[in-house]
Amino acid sequence: MLGQMDRLLGVVGMDTVRLGIVPFSAALRLPPADAFWVVGEQLVIPEDRHAELWLDDSDTVALYRRVWESPHECAVFGAEGQHVIARAGQAGVA
């Protein structure tokens, strides 16, 4: 994974990408769970082990947007994010 970490280090500083890194020490309000995508304000696409769902009711989209904010609140960006990635690589976390 060192190659992936190197790639992330290059992406963190780009003007067109906003990449947040959640440090191992972060206290998350919600544990990581199944993957999902939020498409604007009108669609969320969660995945579980057997299906991909397209959900478009406003209450569900709002719920997933709040779930997204949980790790985002703990993430670090820019130079601080680069330092977290670099420390993980040096520590052999990969």
**Residue 7 contacts by C-beta under 8 Å, 6 or more apart in sequence?**
none
| pLDDT interval class at 88 (50, 70, 90) | confident
Q: What is the pLDDT of residue 61?
A: 95
Q: Give the single-character DSSP code of 41.
A: T
Q: How many residues does the chain have?
A: 94
Q: Residues 12, 78: contact at Cβ < 8 Å?
A: yes
Backbone angles phi, psi at 52, to 5 degrees: -115, 130
Mean pLDDT, residues 61-90: 90
Answer positive or negative: Cα dihedral of 25, 90, 9, 45: negative
